[in-house]
Amino acid sequence: MKPCLFCLPVILFFLMACAAEKPIRLPDLVTTQNQKEKQVCGQSFPVGKWQFVHSIVFTMQNGGGSTVIGVTTLTGPEIMSALITVEGLTLFEAIYHQDNNFEIQRAVPPFDNPGFAQGLMSDVRAIFQPPAGSKVQVGHLTDETPACRYTAADGKVTDILDADDCLQIKSYTPDLILARSIIGRSCRKQGSLLLPEHLVLNTFGPNGYTLKMTLISADELQGSLQ
């Protein structure tokens, strides 16, 4: 058999590629009754009517992307969401209902892509609403990070973590592979809510993308909207 001069580098290349793509699996949770760890469940999501305005830098895997202003209004049963350019053009506006249906009020290309509204709803719900899951466990990961773990009926798992005094949300598929991570930085307290000044949302997979969000304003709403 002839020696294969190219085999070793090629093999090494694929081994390295496989290592880079290795999926992140759900870490073990040590359940406790620790009071501080219980707080993680209660302070991570807004209660009542709120409005958040963020600058959002979105980056696609091909390197393309841009900066927009994102508006999220939580009214209890409904979430209203809009994306606006810096210059004031409304690119996208929708109302999401509790039953996962939504109404698109306006969508400028390429935000009129059929999957865009659904994907945005998933991201918005992941950031602003407690995850689905009747089973809730409180404890910490093996590195002592306080955690609140929600397990949904379909097997999806979401961990809410208190890391570096700020919020992290990690969502796993029913196969317990990391699908989305939301990492907060520079958290501050607003009432009982832990509010990150900066959020980085990553979705994983061939169509993955990154959103870098910076808080412009957070308002608890008293009456009706304008």
Q: Return the number of the residue (87 or 144) whose C-beta is nearest another protein.
A: 87
What lies within 8 Å, CB to CB, of 224 at 6+ separation is none
Q: Report the run of H or E that residue 60 belongs to, with start and end.
A: strand 50-60
For another protein, give the closer residue by CB, 148 or 182: 182
Which part of the chain contacts another protein (CB under 8 A), choosing from 10-18, 85-93, 155-163, 172-180? 85-93
**Number of residues in contact with another protein, rule: CB under 8 A?**
33
For residue 86, state whether it binds another protein (rule: CB under 8 A).
yes
Note whether 98 binds another protein by CB under 8 A: no
CA dist 149 and 31 (Å) reads: 10
Q: Are 189 and 40 in contact (CB under 8 A)?
A: no
The site string for another protein over 45-64 (x = CB under 8 A, - otherwise) reads ------x-x-x-x-----xx
Q: Tell me the C-alpha distance between 226 and 222, whole Å.
A: 12
Question: Per CB under 8 A, which region of 5-13, 37-45, 103-111, 116-124 contacts another protein?
Answer: 103-111
How many CB atoms lie under 10 A from the CB of residue 224?
7
Is residue 129 near another protein by the rule CB under 8 A? no
Q: How far is CA 211 from CA 54, 100, 107, 188, in A?
A: 11, 22, 19, 20
Which residues make up the interface to another protein (CB under 8 A)? 51, 53, 55, 57, 63-64, 66-67, 69, 71, 73, 80-82, 84-91, 93, 106, 108-110, 212, 216, 219, 221, 225-226
